Amino acid sequence: MRVVIADDSIVVRSGIATLLAGAGVETVSEAGDSDALLRMVATTAPDAAVVDIRMPPTYSDEGIVAAHRIRTDFPDVAVLVLSQYVASSYAMRLLQENPSRVGYLLKDRVTDAATLTDGLRRVVAGECVVDPALVSRLFGRARSRGPLDEFTDREREVLHLMAEGRSNRAICGLMFLSVKTVETHVGRIFTKLGLADSGDTSRRVLAVLAYLREGAP
Amino acid sequence: MKATRAHHLLWPVGAIAVLVSAETLGSLRDTTYAGTARWMLWLEVAAAASLLLGAVLAGGGRRGVALALAATGLLWLAPEWAGQIAAPTGVRVLLLALGQLVLPAATLAVLAVVVRAQPAPPSRAVATRLAVAGGAGSALLTLMLADPFRDVRCWRVCNHNPWLLADPSAAARWAGAVGTVVTIAGAVLACAAGLAAVTRHRRLAGPAGASLLLLGGLGFAALLRLQVTESPGSPSYRVAFVAAQLGALGLVASVAADRWREWQIRSALLRLVAGMRAGGGRGALPAALARAVNDPGLQVLYWSAARSAWVDGSGAVVPEPTAGAGRSVTTVVRGGEPVAAIFHAAALQVDHLERALGPALRLSLENERLYAATLAELAELKVSRARIVQTADAQRQQLERNLHDGAQQRLVGLALVLRMLRTAAQDAGDADVVALAVQAEQLAQQVLAELRRVARGIYPALLSDAGLAEAVWDLAESSTDLAVQVDARLPRRPPPPVEAAVYLAVAAALDDARSRAATRAMVSIGARDGIVRAEMADDGSLPGEHPVQQLADRIGALDGQLQVRVVDGAGACVTVEVPCGS
Locate the chain A residue with the closest alpha carbon to B522.
A217
> What percent of chain B is predicted at pLDDT more than 70?
92
Query: In which band, very low, low, confident or very high, does the pLDDT at B576 lie, cut at 50, 70 and 90?
Result: very high
Interface probe, candidates A82, A90, A111, A212, chain B, greatest B C-beta count within 10 A: A111
Q: Which long-range contacts (CB under 8 A, 24 or more apart) does B25-30 make?
A: B25/B77, B25/B80, B25/B81, B25/B83, B28/B80, B28/B83, B28/B84, B28/B85
A186: left (phi over 0), alpha (psi -120 to 50) or beta: alpha
- Phi/psi for B227 (5° steps) reads -120, -40
d(C-alpha B216, C-alpha B229), whole Å = 19
Query: In which band, very low, low, confident or very high, does the pLDDT at B250 lie, cut at 50, 70 and 90?
Result: very high
Interface probe, candidates A5, A14, A84, chain B, greatest B C-beta count within 10 A: A84
d(C-alpha B508, C-alpha B119), whole Å = 66
B181 touches chain A (CB under 8 A): no
The answer to whether the Cα torsion of B187, B193, B199, B200 is positive or negative is negative
Largest CA distance in chain B: 152
> Which residues of chain B neighbour A135 with C-beta distances below 8 Å?
none
How close, in Å, is residue B386 to chain A by CA atoms?
Answer: 24
Calculate the CA B517 to chain-centre distance: 62
How close, in Å, is residue B445 to chain A by CA atoms?
Answer: 8
Q: What is the pLDDT of residues B177-234, one digit of tens each?
A: 899 999 999 999 999 888 888 877 777 788 889 999 999 999 999 998 888 888 888 8
When mean pLDDT is compared across A105-114, B3-12, B553-562, the lowest value belongs to B3-12
- A67 with A98: CB under 8 angstroms? yes
Cβ A213–B441 below 8 Å, yes or no? no
- B535 with B574: CB under 8 angstroms? yes
**What pTM, to 2 d.p., does this model score?**
0.62
Query: In which band, very low, low, confident or very high, does the pLDDT at A199 lie, cut at 50, 70 and 90?
Result: low
How close, in Å, is residue A63 to chain B by CA atoms?
Answer: 12
Predicted local distance difference test score (pLDDT) of residue A61:
87
Cβ B419–A111 below 8 Å, yes or no? yes
B456 touches chain A (CB under 8 A): no
Residue B235, strand partner residues: none
Q: What is the pLDDT of residues B44-90, one digit of tens each?
A: 999 999 998 888 888 766 788 888 998 999 899 888 888 888 888 88
- A144 with B483: CB under 8 angstroms? yes
In single-letter form, the type of residue at position B286 comes to: P
Task: Write out the H or E segment, with its range, that includes residue B531.
Answer: strand B531-538
B contact residues 457-516, partner A, Cβ 8 Å cutoff: 461-462, 464-466, 470, 473-474, 476-486
CA neighbor of B214 nearest in space, from B78, B81, B128, B113? B113
Measured between CB atoms, which of A59, A144, A213 is closest to B401?
A59
When mean pLDDT is compared across A58-72, A135-149, B168-182, B278-292, the lowest value belongs to B278-292
- How is B75-117 classified by DSSP, letter by letter? HTTHHHHTT-TTS-HHHHHHHHHHHTTHHHHHHHHHHHHH---
d(C-alpha B322, C-alpha B311), whole Å = 14
